[in-house]
Amino acid sequence: MTICRRIGAKATVVETNSPKKGYEELKAMLRVNQPTICYGDMAYLPYFALPEVAHFGGHAFVVFGLDEDQDTVYISDRGKKPFTIIIDNLEKARGSIPSFSSQT
């Protein structure tokens, strides 16, 4: 929120403990072409290629598109090019209750 104030942008924060409601809110934002910052567990974002035990749930990434018919989520996340993942990976990443530390 601090960065938004500094650059004069508006941000709306929506938090929920309900995965279903979170998914519906995400879809509503995307329907009006509003990219959305999400938090998730890096172990469930396949483009990191981390072992499933390497949990960190405080990772932020931007979802800028979703195609349920194609089972595809479009993500911008610290890379030169966008990533695509399946909806199940997004749900796992957002719904994980990780330890917030890397475990090997």
Give domain limits for the chain. Answer: 2-95
Q: Give the tens place of pLDDT for each residue, 8-31.
A: 887 777 787 788 899 999 999 999
pLDDT at residue 98, rounded to an integer: 64
Pick from 40, 12, 36: nearest CA to 24? 36
Distance CA 63, CA 104 (A): 29
Per CATH, the number for 2-95 is 3.90.70
**In angstroms, rounded to a whole number, what is the distance separating the alpha carbons of residues 29 and 27?**
5
Among candidate residues 57, 58, 93, 56, the one with its CA nearest the CA of residue 75: 93
d(CA 63, CA 82): 10
The pTM score is: 0.83
Taking only the tens place, the pLDDT of each residue in 72-89 is 999 999 889 999 999 999
Nearest to 50 by CA among 15, 98, 1: 98
